[in-house]
Amino acid sequence: MSQPNDHRLFAVILGTNEIASAIAIQLVRAGYSVVLSHDPDPPVIRRKMAFHDALFTDSVQLEDIVAERVDDGVQVYQALRRPPHVMVTWLGLLDLLPVRHIDLLIDARLQKRRITPDLRRLARLTIGLGPGFSSNFNCDVAVETRPGRIGLVTDQRWTDVADGVASTLGDVGAERFVYSQAAGRWHTPIEIGTRVYKDLVLGHLSGAPVLAPRDGILRGIVRDGSEIPAGVKLLEIDPRGRDAQWTGTDQRGRAIASATNAALRIQAARRATHRNPA
């Protein structure tokens, strides 16, 4: 007999990107049923490394985990009767709060331009990833996501602000990305994983052609037909040749997921101490 819904570990992750997806994989393995809630800003480009495209299909598999789309709160509630798994939805946090009390709420949107909300008291444990979080202001635990500094923020300081410096991939930095010069509708016929060459037209933003910035493998690209704000990443080229990766979880995603798991272990230890004081 399945457990009652109230006994299931229920996690909500804001974001459907590759970081949110890497965390979801580890949470499912830890016994959580996980909902990824879509946010359009910033758009997801590394879609073969994420569960994002389940929003447009019935299911998506990443590593050994299959994610399915859910369209309303009733579907989420019913899915909580099943063994731990991943759900992906267009529903926002306000739509998910009435489903059932949330055990774990994680903001994995990695927003660099917007003010982050106060998540505290919306779940038993709230975790903020990336810029704009402090355990003294808007979450219970903050996690630093900058390359070279990934890990828990153990004091009450703010996570690092975005400095506009892209991490390197095969010794290539920001020049592997193309950013939207203006808001508009994006169209592309090119699939992730395609070998491309510098100046090849990879798509059009409101009719304006967008060219490949260099030779390499298309690691990520915004889904065809998406509405795009100005100043966000449209696509990414992996310059590493045979070492290029465009599917599965990557090292950064796994590191951030491990830091998130560390927060869960610390919280569990604290609760155990409170229940069984010396």
What is the chain's mean pLDDT, rounded? Answer: 91
The string of pLDDT tens digits covering residues 192-238 is 999 999 999 999 999 999 999 999 999 999 999 999 999 999 999 99
**Quick check: 105 and 122 in contact, CB under 8 A?**
yes
- Tell me, what amino acid is at 133? F
Average pLDDT over residues 245-255: 95
Could you give phi then psi for residue 129, rounded to 5 degrees? -110, 135
Q: Percent of the chain, pLDDT > 90?
A: 74
The string of pLDDT tens digits covering residues 67-111 is 999 999 999 999 999 999 999 999 999 999 999 999 999 999 988
**Residue 124 confidence (pLDDT) above 80:** yes
CATH class in words for 174-239: mainly beta
DSSP labels, 149-173:
--EEE-SSPPPPPP-SPPPPBTTB-
Extents of the domains making up the chain: 5-162+251-275, 174-239
Nearest to 178 by CA among 134, 223, 259, 233: 233
- Residues in contact with 265: Cβ distance below 8 Å, sequence separation at least 6, in sequence order: none
**Residue 5 confidence (pLDDT) above 90:** no
- The pLDDT score that the predictor gives to residue 160 is 83
Average pLDDT over residues 47-53: 97
Q: Which CATH number is 5-162+251-275 given?
A: 3.40.50
The string of pLDDT tens digits covering residues 147-195 is 888 988 878 788 888 777 778 888 898 899 999 999 999 999 999 999 9
Q: CA distances (Å), 62 to each of 30, 222, 248, in order?
A: 16, 18, 6
